[in-house]
Amino acid sequence: MADKKLTVARTGNEAMAEAMRQINPDVVAAYPITPATEIAQIFAGFVADGLVDTEFVTVESEHSAMSATIGAAAAGGRCMTATSSQGLMLMAEMLPIASALRLPIVMPEVNRTISAPINIHCDHSDTMFVRDSGWMQVYCEDAQEAYDSVLMGIKIAEKVRLPMIVSTDGFIISHCMANMDLIDDRDVKDYIGKYKPQTWLLNPEKKITIGCLDLQDYYFEHKMVAIDAMRNAKSVIKECCEEFGEKFGRKYGFFDTYKMEDAEVAILAMGSLAGTAKVVVDNMRKTGRKAGLIKMRVFRPFPADELARAVSGLKALAIMDRSDAMSGLEGPLAVETKAALYDSAGKPKIHSYVYGLGGRDVQISEIENVYKDICDFAQAKKKFGENVTYLGVRE
């Protein structure tokens, strides 16, 4: 399979739409929102040209997009939608319903900040807002990863029976063209296989009631099944990533590491910042600093043990959050990483940064300063006044 290499230039949105074409879902229900609009728009072109068999439902809101997708997935189909920012927020009510109903919906998402003030550019506030909705979450660095993750997502979601968000950084990835390798249509078809739902509304053999009123006597047990599914999802993700790597030659995990073998200081980041940070790691290495990078891909389920192992032995770690949960603490990645390391013996010193809100550009020089600062922090040459630094914000 892997030797059929089809190298193309695609934007993040084109790559995710292409994955959707190859998946050929039974139903796609979607609503336009910048910067994710193109995904549904490109897909509509596939529908119009007869390239997919999908029933495409042009709903009147994202709430209905998710509601129709839930209805269709519960009915027994392989179903998808796509959104961003305010759209995701409007879907928010329906997201835990999709996960509790154990519907393996895969949703390409484009990270855009949330209002107010209204702003269409990238940060991770939108998906972080719904991080506790029972959806698996994968953050992608580039178009290739987004494409691969959507395909893998189908397999993972259907095995785990939980929905998944696969996101790219708005405009930075969604609208920028990059070289990537496509997988042959037939190979995708073989890889994802046919969808066989366990229970489905339209099953003529068995009439079922979905969405019962579930009171004090049963709710907890039913919720527990979904909680367990998320806890067990890690093993499925691991297996699926390994299988994908063997089949198609691109290896993914809960996170990817760059020059971590002998690293003394590292950055933990998500999404497109990883690309910038890799350049900086190389620059740092030239100046004798043993710098490394951990690019977090899977945020839900949170790979706590794996992350604790990956950072053990580091002298200092900088955690980069592209959102602030307004918790009065730090960004969500920092808070959760710290929680993950609580029981870890070899945990590094940690300082966290919130950067790039509302699409504020991040320069190489700024990331170089982050590395330099945590090098000094590691050697106790620098103290931070607070646990978190807001990077690139004017005072």
Partner 1 sequence: MATLKELAKKPKFFTNGHRGCAGCGAAIVARQVMMATEGNVVVANATGCLEVFSTIFPYTSWNVPFIHSAFENAAATISGVESCYLALKKQKKIDKNLKFIAFGGDGGTYDIGLQSLSGAMERGHDILYVCYDNGAYMNTGIQRSSATPKGANTTTAPAGKVEQGKTQKKKDLTAVLIAHHVPYVAQAVVGDWTDLTKKVEKALSITGPKFINVFQPCRLGWGYDPSKTVEVGRLAKETCFWPSYEVEKGKYRLNYDPKDKKKPVTEFLKPQARFKHLFKKENESLLKEIQQDVDDAWQNLLKMCKCTNE
For partner 1, the binding residue among 4, 93, 249, 364 (CB under 8 A) is 93
- Contact between 53 and partner 1 per CB under 8 A: yes
- Contact between 72 and partner 1 per CB under 8 A: yes
- CB of residue 26 vs partner 1: minimum separation in angstroms? 4
CA distances, 122 to each of 114, 142, 273 (Å): 9, 14, 11
- Amino acid found at 358: G
Burial class (CB in 10 A: 0-12, 13-18, 19+), 392: middle
Give the integer Cα–Cα distance in Å for 258 and 160: 29
350-362 as b/e, with b when 16 or more CB fall inside 10 Å?
bbbbbbbbebbeb
For partner 1, the binding residue among 57, 150, 237, 314 (CB under 8 A) is 57
- Contact between 54 and partner 1 per CB under 8 A: yes
Residue 121 · residue 112 · CB < 8 Å: yes
- CB of residue 45 vs partner 1: minimum separation in angstroms? 19
Question: Residues for the chain: how many in total?
Answer: 395
For partner 1, the binding residue among 47, 97, 226, 230 (CB under 8 A) is 97
- Contact between 71 and partner 1 per CB under 8 A: yes
For partner 1, the binding residue among 211, 249, 313, 346 (CB under 8 A) is 211
- Contact between 41 and partner 1 per CB under 8 A: no
- Cα end-to-end span (Å), the chain: 54
Give the integer Cα–Cα distance in Å for 351 and 334: 8
Nearest residue (CB) to partner 1, 49 versus 395: 49
For partner 1, the binding residue among 13, 22, 34, 69 (CB under 8 A) is 69
x/- mask, partner 1, residues 4-23, rule CB under 8 A, reads: --------------------
DSSP-derived pairing of the beta strands 6-10 and 178-182: antiparallel
Nearest residue (CB) to partner 1, 215 versus 345: 215
Binding residues for partner 1, rule: CB under 8 A, are: 26-27, 29, 53-55, 57-61, 63-64, 67-77, 79, 93-94, 97, 101, 201-204, 207-215, 218, 222
